[in-house]
């Protein structure tokens, strides 16, 4: 009994010492250790906030050794967010086995095949698009990092201009050139390029020797897609594995016949360097009135992927928490219906939070980093949209971000809210700001009085 009592006393002393030394440690202390006579659990949701909308910055669309998946093609144009247009650049290389175009060769067709990705679908469902592919005038580096403002010069005459009914969920069937049988494949975009271009590619035997000679001819492709049946985008899945493997969907396929009877094909893989361009024109839009505005109230704020606008949340005064043990801090944000039809323009599934470090660079807050590092991002940080209609909201765990601000007077507590994986996700949302009369942003704080 005495041993047990001494043990409890030692535990209490150690615990009290830890509290005095660092009451804002990022490791959350279990409530079962608290002495109810000295420590009182409390809750506060009335700390003042302010919010504003800022223009987005360019995002990385390709970084060497980073395996990006979703690339978006199409455009969105509406009164709320303005005009967003997207395009893509890519180039092909030789496979490990080089082509052998010898004997009596008859060119059949040259087809660019790209795998669809439903994550890039936005706006009108199953839209009609005018898809165009142009040859670049010059090659681009395959080892550089590219941002969403990149632009390469291309020929003005397309290698193909085709109306396509976009359906990223349905498989496609076509006549296999080699077997002469109907085959069924996963959802994909198939574009037959200009025959004269394909004929030149198969006729020049130098282009079968190495990637440098091939690249000097191909140079690369510029791809854009214009909606014909309403604002819309669709996605392409350009994961590295599907770009380099002969079993992957993404490729440039040469179909030809050898010695009049032997039907063959050669697949040129797409190189992993796939820069994209995302252009935002907000002139005359609703969001333009709110960007960096001092006259507009912060009753509304805006978020948009692909380098679009961000929301900044400022915490007016956190001194209230300086002598308290913070257990959990959660930012609660409600989605507005100003953005239009939720079915047409669904809100992002998940948000992310960043801050400006001492050098002025934007980086993820500690709560996000911890969630990612242990493989439980949504479980630690949350950030998922929940609810329906006007009751849809995001809840973001920013406990360690606030603790870091309390511990370090030079730490910038301003929070930048944005779409998770913003370089690949097109979704956007209008959210209620800190001063909205009905659904204001709210900081829910659970703390302990010491």
- pLDDT recorded at residue 247: 58
Q: What's the pLDDT band for 189 if we cut at 50, 70, 90?
A: very high
Percent of residues, the chain, with pLDDT higher than 90: 68
Comparing 78 with 244, the larger pLDDT belongs to 78
Greatest mean pLDDT among 32-41, 152-161, 283-292 lies in: 152-161
- pLDDT recorded at residue 39: 59
- Lowest-pLDDT range, 208-212, 248-252, 293-297, 368-372? 293-297
**Each residue of 212-228: pLDDT tens digit?**
999 999 999 999 999 99
- pLDDT recorded at residue 190: 95
**Each residue of 53-104: pLDDT tens digit?**
999 999 999 999 888 899 999 999 989 999 999 999 999 999 999 999 988 9
**Each residue of 408-440: pLDDT tens digit?**
989 999 999 999 999 999 999 999 999 998 999
- pLDDT recorded at residue 240: 79
**What does the alpha-carbon distance between residue 383 and residue 367 come to, in Å, rounded to a whole number?**
11
**Each residue of 339-387: pLDDT tens digit?**
667 788 999 999 999 999 988 889 999 999 999 888 888 889 999 999 8
- pLDDT recorded at residue 141: 93
- pLDDT recorded at residue 280: 97
pLDDT higher than 60, residue 8? no
pTM of the shown model: 0.86
So where are the chain's domains? 24-55+288-449, 60-280
**Each residue of 389-408: pLDDT tens digit?**
768 899 999 999 999 999 99
pLDDT higher than 50, residue 310? yes
- pLDDT recorded at residue 265: 93
Averaged pLDDT score across all residues of the chain = 87
Q: How many residues does the chain have?
A: 450
- pLDDT recorded at residue 243: 75
Comparing 22 with 188, the larger pLDDT belongs to 188
pLDDT higher than 50, residue 116? yes
């Amino acid at each position: 009994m005495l041993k047990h009592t001494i043990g409890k006393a030692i535990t209490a002393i150690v615990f009290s010492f830890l509290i005095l030394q660092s009451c804002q440690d990022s490791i959350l202390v279990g409530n079962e250790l608290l002495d109810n006579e000295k420590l009182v659990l409390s809750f506060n949701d009335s700390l003042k906030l302010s919010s504003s909308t800022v223009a987005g910055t360019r995002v990385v669309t390709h970084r060497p050794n980073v395996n990006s998946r979703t690339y978006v093609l199409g455009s969105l144009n509406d009164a709320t967010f303005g005009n967003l247009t997207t395009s893509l650049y890519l180039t092909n290389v030789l496979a490990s086995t080089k082509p052998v175009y010898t004997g009596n060769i008859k060119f059949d067709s040259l087809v660019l095949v790209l795998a669809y990705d439903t994550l890039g679908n936005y706006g009108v469902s199953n839209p009609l698009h005018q898809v165009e592919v142009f040859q670049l005038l010059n090659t681009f580096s395959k080892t550089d990092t590219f941002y969403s403002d990149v632009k390469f010069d291309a020929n003005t005459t397309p290698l193909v201009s085709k109306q396509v009914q976009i359906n990223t969920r349905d498989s496609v069937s076509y006549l296999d050139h080699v077997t002469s049988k109907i085959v069924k494949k996963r959802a994909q975009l198939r574009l037959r390029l200009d025959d004269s271009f394909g004929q030149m590619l198969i006729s020049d035997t130098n282009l079968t020797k190495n990637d440098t000679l091939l690249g000097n001819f191909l140079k690369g492709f510029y791809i854009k897609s214009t909606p014909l049946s309403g604002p819309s985008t669709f996605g392409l899945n350009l994961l590295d594995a599907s770009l380099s493997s002969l079993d992957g969907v993404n490729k440039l396929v040469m179909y030809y016949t050898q010695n009049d009877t032997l039907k063959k094909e050669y697949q040129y893989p797409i190189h992993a360097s796939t820069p994209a361009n995302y252009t935002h024109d907000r002139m005359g839009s609703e969001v333009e009135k709110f960007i960096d505005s001092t006259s507009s109230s912060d009753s509304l704020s805006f978020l948009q992927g692909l380098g679009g606008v961000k929301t900044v949340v400022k915490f007016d005064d956190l001194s209230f928490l300086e002598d308290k043990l913070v257990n959990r801090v959660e930012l609660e944000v409600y989605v507005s219906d100003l953005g239009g039809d939720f079915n047409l323009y669904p809100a992002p599934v998940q948000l992310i939070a960043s801050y400006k470090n001492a050098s002025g660079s934007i980086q993820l807050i500690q709560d996000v980093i911890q969630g990612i590092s242990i493989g439980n991002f949504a479980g630690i940080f949350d950030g998922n949209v929940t609810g329906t209609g006007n009751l849809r909201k995001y809840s973001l765990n920013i406990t360690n971000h606030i603790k870091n601000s309390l511990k370090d007077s030079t730490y910038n507590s301003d929070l930048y809210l944005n779409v998770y994986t913003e370089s690949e996700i097109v979704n956007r949302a209008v959210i209620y700001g800190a001063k909205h009369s009905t659904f204001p942003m709210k900081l829910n704080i659970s703390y302990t009085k010491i």
